[in-house]
């Protein structure tokens, strides 16, 4: 089973900031990494697929990078609406596993 | 756009069976190259993938839950279901259903439903 170590668990940003969220896999997972955004009481939204590809309809201030074991979700020019819980998921091998999540607060 | 909605009892007694249903709208669960998953999140903890059912009816289960788990589908109602037997307090969580895209990972999620295991 692949363990995903996501950091930080919590972060606070100001509108206009750039933030990075890290997800490290315990073994090589190629580019089989997705990122999601979730707000309280709402369905999770799929934002990045295959490590680097922006899901259609997602603002271009979101981007993903990485391959193998180290992955990063970057949000440029943060907006107030980006306050949410973000999590990574690997689908390279069974069982699918998730990072512990990052709660992003906007000041 | 595909929408998923979980439903079922919010309270289950220990040792009983937890049963949830996911109703899908905006697309058929029996068509396309999709699979349909269950995922859960205990309070204060990370997400855990439970298992999935394919349009063929075949399933994949998380080994940690496999002995207690059944995922099935009712194509006539466009629903798929989860049954988890012999539950304990450790099964208390928000349960989500999701559609898996071609790459085998969720693209659409339900809002989730809280299930508490308590006497």
Q: Quote the pLDDT of residue A9.
A: 97
Mean per-residue pLDDT of chain A: 97
**For residue B100, what are its two tokens?**
């898996």
Interface contact B103-A99, CB threshold 8 A: no
How much of chain A, in percent, has pLDDT values that exceed 90?
99
Interface contact B64-A99, CB threshold 8 A: no
Closest CB to A34: pick one of B62, B105, B110. B105
Chain A residues in contact with B107 by the CB 8 A cut-off are 46, 49, 55
Q: Pick the range with the lowest mean pLDDT from A4-18, A74-88, B93-107.
A: B93-107
CB-CB contact of A34 with A91 (8 Å): yes
Q: Quote the pLDDT of residue B34.
A: 92
| Residue pLDDT, tens place only, A43-77 | 999 999 999 999 999 999 999 999 999 999 999 99
d(CA B15, CA A20): 43
Q: Quote the pLDDT of residue A88.
A: 98
A99 touches chain B (CB under 8 A): yes
Residue from B1, B23, B52, B105 to probe the interface with A (highest A Cβ count within 10 Å): B105
d(CA B18, CA A104): 33
Class of residue A32 by CB neighbours under 10 A (exposed 0-12, middle 13-18, buried 19+): buried
Nearest alpha carbon to residue B102 among A59, A37, A94, A32: A32
Q: Quote the pLDDT of residue A102.
A: 97
B34 touches chain A (CB under 8 A): no
Count chain A–chain B contacts defined by CB atoms under 8 A: 56
Interface contact A87-B49, CB threshold 8 A: no
Residue for token pair 């979980």: B6
């Amino acid at each position: 089973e692949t363990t995903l170590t996501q950091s930080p668990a919590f972060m606070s940003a100001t509108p206009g900031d750039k933030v990075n969220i890290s997800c490290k896999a315990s073994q090589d997972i190629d580019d089989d990494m997705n990122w999601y955004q979730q707000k309280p009481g709402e369905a999770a939204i799929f934002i990045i697929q295959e490590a680097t590809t922006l899901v259609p309809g997602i603002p271009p201030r979101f981007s993903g990078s990485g391959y193998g074991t180290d992955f990063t979700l970057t949000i440029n020019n943060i907006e107030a609406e980006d306050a949410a819980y973000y999590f990574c998921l690997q689908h390279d091998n069974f069982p699918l596993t998730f990072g512990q999540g990052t709660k992003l607060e906007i000041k | 756009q595909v929408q998923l909605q979980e439903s079922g009892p919010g309270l289950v007694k220990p040792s009983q069976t937890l049963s949830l249903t996911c109703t899908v709208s905006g697309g058929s669960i029996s068509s396309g190259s999709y699979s349909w998953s269950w995922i859960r999140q205990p309070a204060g903890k990370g997400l855990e993938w439970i298992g999935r059912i394919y349009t063929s009816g075949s399933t994949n289960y998380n080994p940690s839950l496999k002995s207690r788990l059944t995922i099935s589908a009712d194509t006539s109602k466009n629903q798929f279901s989860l049954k988890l037997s012999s539950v304990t307090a450790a099964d208390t969580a928000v349960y989500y259903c999701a559609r898996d895209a071609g790459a085998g990972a969720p693209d659409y999620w339900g809002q989730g439903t809280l299930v508490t295991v308590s006497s």
